[in-house]
Amino acid sequence: MADKASKKDADKNGDGNRRSIKGGSTTVSQVRSRVAQVVWLVFVVAAVFLAVGALCIALDFNRSNPLVEFFINGANFFDLGIFSRKGGLKSFDGSNADVKNALFNWGLGAIAYLIVGRIVVKIIQP
């Protein structure tokens, strides 16, 4: 009986987590932490695309510029249709409606990505 207890203790490394690979040093908590970092990076990149895209529209950057076009296309990709400039959560009319739509919908989308991303990371992390 005492032999089984000592074997259980021998399977654990210093922080109390069992090793996922026999003799290896990668633990489940390390893998979960790394996955959480990658997931957070994806959500932050999506939020940055939406925020920079809104900024490009608001400051009336040259839309034929490849860099501006890259960020606007990226923002259109990450808006998921919910935060779209045309037909998003809120649609403005009148003067500067395109700017207002971009700032409101893409700005709200960037905030939503950061909040949801943080929640998902908290679920993944040990």
Q: Give domain status of residue 17, yes or no.
A: no
The chain-wide mean pLDDT, for the chain, equals: 83
Domain assignment of residue 87, yes or no: yes
Q: Is 32 among the domain residues?
A: no
Q: Is the pLDDT of residue 66 over 90?
A: yes
**60 within some domain:** yes
Is 42's pLDDT higher than 60? Answer: yes
Assign 58 a pLDDT band (cuts: 50, 70, 90).
very high
- pLDDT confidence of residue 28: 87
In the beta sheet, which residues pair with residue 18?
12
**DSSP H stretches of helix in the chain:** 2-11, 28-58, 66-78, 97-101, 107-124
- Whether 65 has a pLDDT exceeding 80, the answer reads yes
Say if 7 falls within a structural domain: no
Q: Does residue 116 lie in a domain region?
A: yes
Q: How many domains does the chain have?
A: 1
Residue range(s) defining the domain that contains residue 121: 47-126
In a domain, 64, yes or no: yes
**pLDDT at site 15:** 55
What does the DSSP 8-state code read for residue 65?
S
